[in-house]
Amino acid sequence: MTHHGARHGSSGGGRDLIGLQAMDVETMRRLLRSSWAMANDWRGARGKPPQPDLAGRTIANLFFENSTRTRVSFTIAAQRLGANVVDLSSAGSSVAKGETLVDTVRTIEAMGVDALVVRHASSGAAALAASTADIPVLNAGDGSHEHPTQGLLDSLTVAEAHARTDAFDLSGLRLAIVGDVAHSRVARSDIAAWTALGASVVCVGPPTLAPRTLEALGVEVRHDLDAVLPEVDGLQALRVQFERAASLSSARDYAAAFQINPARLARMKKSAVVMHPGPMNRGLEIAGDAAEAVDGPRGVVLRQVENGVYMRMAALRWCLGQD
């Protein structure tokens, strides 16, 4: 959102959520505390009436890239806060008719929408939308740049698994990110959050996907997953992007070196958790028989999904000045 004073009217206090690399750690902790409060209110609740925080508000999902799970997660979060949701997908949208992103954003805003959730294949698209709109913009993933609610929900998940929900301080924890770190917006947001919250982060993958240049982000880079496994308290297995798989010597080679499988799970600390941002390619980055990664005591993949809704509730409230 831009700041035009008069145009804001009574909506003051709104904020964009574009990325975690530019967010101070106190704001991260504020969002984590708020999402944890949502978790305690909503977990297991059936038939709980919406909180009225965003009653009368309209949230627009503007997704230029398909992502059913992220769109639905934001939708359920908004509905639980009493908001209405409208969906605009790229197929058939004005963008397909040649309209610019800036014109699309301003048009949606002119319809009286209160916040915009944007997903786009280009890095920087969310920031461009935010620089155009007077209303808050939430980045739901832009190219290989950031996916901030994912980074925050992953932090909530780690904090919960390791009983750090009192202060959301991850000091002393060592967390691995495995796979195509170089091109991953999830990795970028995880790294920003985890390092800010005090964890030590190690990126693991073949040199093409986990290059030494990542060290500039304050992380360690390693290429031998089996050596790293016993050290870590948590591991995020990134999704292999099939469209980039051609650049791997082969999917088979990748799986041999980096797939999460029962043998590798057995090398991890008992308390270590396995995460995946989803959707999982079973048989590629996760073995088909690695059920433990999802269902066993160390599997928190579904907890990530659940926490995603709480975090998006917190994010919507914060962006709209209602937290």
Of 111, 65, 66, nearest in space to 84 by CA? 111
Interface region with its own copies, contact rule CB under 8 A, candidates 86-94, 142-150, 157-165, 226-234: 86-94
Q: Please, are residues 206 and 254 in contact by the beta-carbon 8 Å criterion?
A: yes
Any idea what the Cα angle at residue 3 is, between residues 149 and 18, rounded to 5°? 15
Q: Per-residue x/- mask for its own copies, residues 137 to 176, rule CB under 8 A?
A: ----------------------------------------
For residue 4, what are the CA distances in angstroms to 7, 217, 225?
A: 6, 34, 50
Query: Does 106 contact its own copies by CB under 8 A?
Result: yes
Nearer to its own copies (CB atom), residue 214 or residue 311: 311
Of 311, 73, 315, 277, nearest in space to 184 by CA? 277
Rounded distance between C-alpha atoms, residue 23 and residue 3, angstroms: 19
Query: Does 13 contact its own copies by CB under 8 A?
Result: no
The single residue among 4, 111, 163, 249 that binds its own copies, judged by CB under 8 A, is 111
Listed in sequence order, the DSSP H helices in the chain are 25-42, 68-80, 101-110, 125-132, 148-161, 185-196, 225-228, 251-258, 262-266, 291-295, 301-319
**Would you say the C-alpha torsion 211, 194, 51, 320 has a positive or negative sign?**
negative
Nearer to its own copies (CB atom), residue 110 or residue 163: 110
Q: Cβ 88 to its own copies, closest distance in Å? A: 5
Nearer to its own copies (CB atom), residue 14 or residue 151: 14
Query: Does 46 contact its own copies by CB under 8 A?
Result: yes
Query: Does 279 contact its own copies by CB under 8 A?
Result: yes
Question: Which residues contribute to the site for its own copies (CB under 8 A)?
Answer: 9-11, 42, 44, 46-50, 54-58, 60, 66-69, 72-73, 75-76, 79-80, 84, 86, 88-89, 91-94, 96-100, 103-104, 106-114, 242, 278-282, 294, 302-303, 305-306, 308-309
